[in-house]
Structure 1
């Protein structure tokens, strides 16, 4: 057995044996602080029994008592995730210079090798930052970099909103109602998810990265196709045919769009089409156009005494205006937009937007909105459910002009609005549940046949619920606009009301005999017609 006296004075003796460190005390009068000063020269002493050490010093004399173990000169610690390695040097500071430093570096390398640390060793630390009894970061692994999710960009359909230009010479009323694309046009793209970059532990273990999620492209395979570029990792959606872009349940479609380059005339005959109709010219007198979806007439001259223009489910846009000659009839399920209207009949289940004027027209809609700051209603009958907004009504010749607002039940409207909000909240909660379920399936590396079936079913239900939410949000926007109407029905005129104009709200009428300068708003409150 090795028996080495490391230190001795008249009070104590410090001895090293094979199994550790011992102390022997001869007489009292020595302190623990003094002993600690001695230990500064013996950094490899690791105290394991402090009570024994204290007893030997304070209750001297005491025969050999073991109080410590031998430390490694280089202690290595590895973090639980194997990403960091630390060393603590139990050597004298004098050993960290000159030839001693080379020896310590050799010992460190050997200790790291024994622990299996082979990656991320900080060589600069070995040269510059070694200190005794200090925990030093000596090796650091590389964290994996998770892959990025796929990025999807799709064709955007903007909400129809008229642009009005009044420059004193030409008045323009521009609107893009039909989102038309040609065969081969871009409809969307997806940049592939990335696999990520694996990491590495200080033990040389590969730490796999979590790949990004590849989100699906939702498109109608009959009208849209995808083209993949493996070099760029981009999937592009293109139109398989010329038509109108349309979304349903987040799925992009290219609907059939009948394109008339000139006029609807004897060359084309009457049009009845199950899709969108885009007419670059006009519609000749006595001809008719019917369509399931939007109808757009882009000719600068507008239309005249057509037979009828009928959109069963969509909107109508007449860029140049309507000069109906007391014959033209127009109907649409949604909104109607036109530069002007003259001597025609318009029926619309939503809002009629007119740029500049209406002369001797019969118009029936939920709302009738005149867009221009100089708009006019001259003659005819305007019949709205919610409100009518214009600049000027009537003319100096006092042409008889009638504006009627049927009015609405605000309480019932508010109840419907609240019900829509409640439904939106419930659907949002459903969407959270659907997203959670979809994430569980999407995160699985391999699905059984039944799980694949369930995954597709849940995804389809998710899209259906999203479509319901989109429709509810659209309805909420409309109802919010209705509820901002004053009273139970509103007629708002910003400029002037001429004589021989009759305003009616919920069967309560007011005959205007003399000009009234605006702005003025009439509305019904508690069955009383109020003007402010």
Structure 2
């Protein structure tokens, strides 16, 4: 004979059901069955009243519900960077034209940028079954935010922050900022122009009309052709074919195999393992041209201290100009200051004339000037005083720089390890000499306030 009320509990013990075999049941009968079956939690009194009022036979009827456990959420890291190549978008110029050389193919972050944000794991919340027993929940799993070079973690451990400008990378789960940009081929329309806050390494060359700028060093395995390359550090490349266009500049040294129709400037030393042909060169300290050829021909070469080459000029008597004894930066500074001094002296003369007019007017009016003119008079005197101060500082700086030039001149020299050809012009500390005959291994220096050429003995 069937029991009047049957109790059923699902496998996870979160739900308790009754099955009625008789419509004539009461709340107390149902609760007796639940109590007798050990059901203590989540009993639905309202549901039981409804069952008594409208009994349904032979179907499981929910009368108690437990609370399922809620597992904690795992820690999560959201990276604020795009790995791989970004969408290439050429620059639209103000006139509506498109510069296909100016495309961006890599992401750059700045120092202080947030590269990743970690969301901490959450605690689990325990559940309870219909028998009143706790059901344990799992806490979320933690993960480490691992950083490498040029990246730090915030004090609360929730953020990865760039310490330097560069390219964000992830290697084996380690987040870092690389200050080396590697270009696997040429700099051309496939890469666009390069402007990078760090070092740049180019496995190919640089195509005409493109530019490469870096705050660090630039290393180019190919040739720079009629392009602009500028480094905050050193530049090293196979050679430069300038075609009279483009500019190569470095705050440090430059090392090349050859220069042809190039314009090159560096604050440090220029090393050429080949030749300099039809080029304009300026180096802060020295220029060395070595190798099997080691020739400077048809070029204008300027260095602060030393120019040394195997051969200077050519048998074809092509004009070649070599100058030492003046740091190019110092010469530029003197030129700029001299120009400013000239302008300020003119301004001073104009102000002095204006002040004299005011003073003449003041004398005619028994020492009185109208308010508007008195104000302009005071302004003119104040401006004149500022110009006097400015002129004094600039003149003193020019004097100091010229003394520096004298020191450079006394220490500077031009060396030809093999020969110097006629039609070569040499300048040392402002003294000038045109070579009218061929010299063998020679060294030119200042002696008794004039250029003297002597045999060079290594």
Shared fold, TM over 0.5: no
For normalisation by structure 1, the TM-score amounts to 0.37
